[in-house]
Amino acid sequence: MRRDALPLRLEARATPSAAMVWLTPVLAVGLTLLSGFALFAALGFDPVRVLYGFFVEPVASKRGITELVVKATPLATIAIGLAVAVRANVWNIGAEGQLLMGALTGGGLALVFHGEEGPWLLPAMLVAGMLGGMAWAAIPAFLRTRFNASEILTSLMLVYVGRLLLGFLLNGPLRDPEGFNFPESRLFNPEAMLPMMVPGTRMHLGAVFALLVVGGGWLLLARTFIGFQIKVVGLTPAAAAYAGFNEKRVVWFTLLLSGALAGLAGVMEVAGPIGQITPYISPGYGFTAIIVAFLGRLHPVGILLAALLMALSYLGGDAVQITLGLPQAMTGVFQGMLLFFLLGCDVLVRYRIRRRRAPAQPQPQTAPVTVP
Amino acid sequence: MIAVFDSLAPILAAMITAATPLLLAALGEVVTEKSGVLNLGVEGMMLVGAVSGFAVTVTTGSHAMGILMAACAGVVMALIFAFLTLTLLANQVATGLALTLFGTGLSALIGQGFVGTPIPRLPELNLPGLSDLPFIGPILFSHDALVYLGLAMVGAVSWFLYDTRAGLVLRAIGESHEAAHAIGFSVLGIRYLAVMFGGAMAGLAGAYLSLAYTPMWAENMSSGRGWIALALVVFATWKPGRLLLGAWLFGFVSIAELHVQGLGLRVPSQFLSMLPYLATIFVLVLISRDATRIRLNAPACLGKVFHPDA
Amino acid sequence: MNRRTFHKTLAGLAGAAAVLALTAGGTSHASAADKLKVGFVYVGPISDHGYSYQHDLGRQAVVKEFGDKVETTFVENVPEGADAERVVEQLASSGHKLIFTTSFGFMNPTLKVAQRHPEVFFEHATGYKRSANLATYAARFYEGRTVVGLIAGKLTKSNIIGYVASHPIPEVISGINAFTLALREVNPKAEVRVIWVNSWYDPGKEAAAAKALIDQGADVILQHTDSPAPVQAAEERGLWSVGQSSDMTRFGPKSHLTAIVDDWSGYYTARVKAVMDGTWKSQDTWGGFKDKMLYLAPYNPAIPKDVVALAETARQNIIEGKRHPFQGPIKDQSGKEILAQGKTLTDEQILKMDYYVEGVQGQIPR
């Protein structure tokens, strides 16, 4: 499939198109709606109702919007950390494990002090959660800086180890003594839980923390020296070494940071919507956050929007099952399609489509904006 | 301890079958990554391959057709990925993850009519004489065609990558696509082929699961094997020979821990189940200590977008 | 893909969609006021042909029984964490008056929603928390294990039984124990070896576990996991197996002795009727053979007649209350007697069981 055989070609823009940054998601959603329309109609469902149920209905009520925020909170929190790490070419695939560890340490604190809570407990839990996530991320950091072991593999393997560890603890020391020996912990007392921001809903203070994390992430990358180092180490390690930036320190920093954020997301889940430690704390937030990070183009604001969109797609998936009886498998297909269109349309930000006239002339190459 | 030794032959035999889906999928991914493309959608491709192979076998009664169709299904999935990432220059990591989401849902959808349908297992090839050898007979000579295919592919992929010109070109593209393009190689064309190969292999891995390992279809039946395969590619530093070792290591520890549980050792099952993952980390650390080795094997352009015309 | 396969797949897709469109939500306009909306929350896919599938059969029985008077909705593959509460809440807020949440992990989410919606009735399976509008229900699966234990005890030649278990929760442990007690009643030399696969549904791992047990000499394979993989593994080696949650004969025609099948249709239709009659009350229902909440799949014809007779007698005795799966004397693994002759374990003791009885090898993961 030689490029110049096609009638169209992609021509790099001199600078990424600002207009397209906003237009491409709209275009992508439009394409998704069109193909979704065709798909659902072909399978015998009312396409308008399905699409409405997917995108509009979940947020058509106050409760719906708060649920959207509740679902997006851990996604955004983790994705910021992942994005910072990826900028330094550090691939923390194991955020899911760090989330579980944070839930264990933070939630564990709530269990240890069950009945003796004070105003200090909740902040302590959040800190403990971050420390737990950091500790779990420190393992891949250590193995990479000391032994050159790829953090992709080590952090991923540790996810499974973390899950099994959680299962072990819940069948033993963490088990609710009055819980008929079922593998769940005690319910946390209200003092050990995040306060609700909107009464009658589940929207908890974690949403504020997520926003702070988004803002902090932006600040870190745009305005701090370490942020600058992160970016240089990621883009041109040779230049970074020449400039005296310590790559190992950047690896540690980014892994610990993303571990802390994943741990924070974990403790916010157990101290928020769940209210106890169970074996099912996360339906894969650590992995979904990777998608969110890249959908958001590794930019904090983009990540915020991407988290909301991904959350919406999950909410929509449940909603259409309930209101229209759409099979659950179809929501996975639809989500995949949405992502395909979003990712595909992204090309228009950095390239424009041109008709090919003469054979391609050698032209000065602008460095393609790569997102590793 | 004697009991464990008695079990050694069955453990080794089971290890080889358990390692096969990992091996097949990872070999495909090695080729893909060696050409510079990172396809995280292995799990999705495996599932679509599994359900397609199963569905075709149920309707045609032929395992061979099922296996063939599974590979084709994997190729189709891979083509979606290739089009998005190679032609439309989309981000490879996110697209691969989206492919997994899509493939998981699609396979569940297709498979709905086929759950609860039993089929005969892909038959074992009993090589006369060889299969009856004590100890090594059951371990090496009583497996089905896909197991042997996996083992053969280790050699084939290794030969292709390191002993053929085409393999050299592919590796060159993975190391420096700009230079390769300047020389005149079709970067995109070869990457498309590499990605398709990866898809076919992932599809075969899925077919092994649904036709041989546990002849049935169940949603999500790959249970994360695609992710393990991806990790094994890194573990193997992109070398097929080491990939075989990694797949066997993981398979061996996974099976052994089950045996240990059955023997009633007083170690909590969760810790035993952690062993395959810990073992993989441990061995990776051992072999990674030499920094140069990693650098020499990771394709330099892995994951980077290639756009030939400015 | 050839045309036949293509058409079959397309037909399968369309069929699935049609069935689901018909049986679920559908178009509800003005007549919705008369219909009772009943919601079902499943932890797995109904296509698992196991646990969630059996719950859905119960739902279909409700539809069949009440026809136009009822409108059912189901949501499958609901994760047991924070998402569950959202789903249950959505059902409660969209006019459903009776909601069944069918897995233990839905307990606290269901309770929270129940507290917010006193006008809706909730039913939670295999849990232990109740409230004025939240009832619990479960099946005494261990009764089935007792009967199966007698059969296994008579048929095993190696005296080693392999047990593929999911998670070390009391429900699974009481099943293992009930089985072992009956097993050793007819065969004191037999022992049970347990492998925990830490998952309810993972065909590959279940098959590997079954094969490991077989390699260690087991000739009857039991399972408390939901896929037919262990039955398949046993079939291949010419050994016995017992299915779980649904009839798995298809996967092991020669090997499948019987299966312990859940049957929720009676309970579901009764509860729907109670809501319609206005007689619904919160209660705890733990039904066994007698209440028809579980039954045994047809016995394998290869089982000798006297063994079938033994099993059937036991089953009848359980129904009539003459036999209790946990009747003394019971010794724990160390040989210490924990229940004296003539006594039986209480429901609460069974519900929280967390020890092995004598005859089970190994240790509960803790």
Tell which residue, A310, A304, A251, A257, has the closest CA to residue A284: A310
In a domain, A72, yes or no: yes
Predicted confidence (pLDDT) at residue A316 exceeds the cutoff of 70: yes
pLDDT over 60 (residue C257): yes
Nearest CA in chain C to B115: C47
Q: How much of chain B exceeds pLDDT 70, in percent?
A: 95
What is the model's pLDDT at position A17? 78
The backbone torsions φ and ψ at residue C189, rounded to the nearest 5 degrees and listed phi first, read -90, -10
Interface contact A322-C25, CB threshold 8 A:
yes
* Average pLDDT taken over every residue of chain B: 90
Of the candidates B93, B112, B309, the beta carbon closest to that of A3 is on B309
- Neighbouring chains of C at 3+ CB pairs under 8 Å are A, B
pLDDT of residue C33 exceeding 60, the answer is: no
- Tell me what pLDDT residue B21 has: 97
pLDDT, residue A98, reads 97
Q: Say how many domains are in chain A.
A: 1
Task: Say yes or no: domain B2-115+134-297 is CATH 2.40.50.
Answer: no
Please answer yes or no on whether B310 and A287 come within 8 Å at the CB atom.
no
User: What ipTM was predicted for this assembly?
Assistant: 0.91
Distances (CA, A) of C346 to A359, B300, C289, C326, C327: 86, 67, 18, 9, 10
Determine the Cα–Cα distance for residues B19 and A185; give it in Å rounded to an integer.
37
B132-178, pLDDT tens digit by residue? 777 777 788 888 999 999 999 999 999 999 999 999 999 999 999 99
> What domains can be seen in chain C, in order of their start residue?
21-139 (3.40.50.2300), 141-261+294-351 (3.40.50.2300)
CB interface of C with A, residues 54-73, below 8 Å: 73
| Average pLDDT in chain C | 89
Q: Which of A195, A222, A190 is nearest to A207 (CA)?
A: A195
HEC string of chain C equals: CCHHHHHHHHHHHHHHHHHHHHHCCCCCCHHHHCCEEEEEECCCCHHHCCHHHHHHHHHHHHHHHHHHHEEEEEECCCCCCHHHHHHHHHHHHCCCCEEEECCHHHHHHHHHHHHHCCCCEEEEECCCCCECCEEEEEECHHHHHHHHHHHHHHHCCCCEEEEEECCCCHHHHHHHHHHHHHHHHHCCCCEEEEEECCCCCCHHHHHHHHHHHHHCCCCEEEECCCCCHHHHHHHHCCCEEEEEECCCHHHCCCCEEEEEEECCHHHHHHHHHHHHHCCCCCCEEEECCCCCCEEECCCCCCCCHHHHHHHHHHHHHHHCCCCCCCECCEEECCCCEEECCCCECCHHHHHCCCCCECCECCCCCC
Q: Distance from C304 to chain A by nearest Cα, in Å?
A: 39
Contact criterion met (CB < 8 Å) for C216 and B109 = no
Chain B residues lying within 8 Å of A372, measured CB to CB: 303-304
Structure tokens at C23: 């049986």
Of C81, C351, C353, the CB nearest to A274: C81
How confident is the model at residue A335, as a pLDDT?
Answer: 86
Contacts of A292 in chain B (CB under 8 A): none
Task: Work out the average pLDDT over A128-137.
Answer: 97
**Residue A92 distance to chain C (closest CA, Å):** 24
Write down the pLDDT at residue A28: 87
> pLDDT at residue C4 above 80?
no
Q: Which of C38, C90, C200 to mutate to test the interface with A (most CBs of A within 10 A)?
A: C90
Q: Give pLDDT tens digits for C316-366.
A: 999 999 999 999 899 998 889 999 998 999 999 999 898 999 999 988 876
Q: Does C29 touch chain A (CB under 8 A)?
A: no
**Do the domain assignments include residue A37?**
no
Give the per-residue pLDDT at C10. Answer: 46
Give the CATH number, domain containing residue A64: 1.10.3470
Q: Would you place residue C3 in the very low, low, confident or very high pLDDT band (cuts 50, 70, 90)?
A: low
Which pLDDT band, with edges at 50, 70 and 90, does A19 fall under? Answer: confident
What count of CB pairs under 8 Å joins B to C?
Answer: 148
Annotated domain spans of chain B: 2-115+134-297
Q: In chain A, which residues have their Cβ closer than 8 Å to the Cβ of B303?
A: 372
Facing residue for C82 by CB, picked from A273, A327, A329: A273
Interface test with C, best of B106, B221, B261 (most C CBs within 10 A): B261
Q: What is the pLDDT of residues C168-213, one digit of tens each?
A: 989 999 999 999 999 999 999 999 999 999 888 899 999 999 999 9
Q: Give the chains touching A; criterion: ≥3 Cβ pairs < 8 Å.
A: B, C
Q: Do B309 and A165 touch (CB under 8 A)?
A: no
CB-nearest to C90 from A279, A281, A318 is A318
Q: Which is higher by pLDDT, B264 or A271?
A: A271
Q: Do B288 and A147 touch (CB under 8 A)?
A: yes
What are C263-290's pLDDT values in tens digits? Answer: 999 999 999 999 999 999 999 999 999 9
A202 shares contact with chain C (CB less than 8 Å): yes
Boundaries of domain holding A307: 46-215+247-325
- A181 to C14: CB separation less than 8 angstroms, yes or no: no
Q: Is the dihedral of CA C294, C298, C302, C308 positive or negative?
A: positive
Q: Is residue A240 situated within a structural domain?
A: no
Cβ contact B131:B75 at 8 Å: no
Instruction: Chain A: give the shortest CA distance to residue C327, in Å.
Output: 21
Interface of C with A in 337-366 (CB under 8 A): 348, 351-354, 364-366
Most confident by average pLDDT, B37-46, B297-306, C3-12: B37-46
DSSP string, B198-239: HHHHHHHHHHHIIIIIS-S--TTTTTTHHHHHHHHHHHTTT-
Cis omega (within 30 of 0) for bond into A199: no
Cα distance between residue A162 and residue A186, in whole Å:
20
State the DSSP code for A177.
T
Using CB atoms, pick whichever of B14, B215, B263 lies closest to residue C208: B14
Contact C225, C199 (CB under 8 A): yes
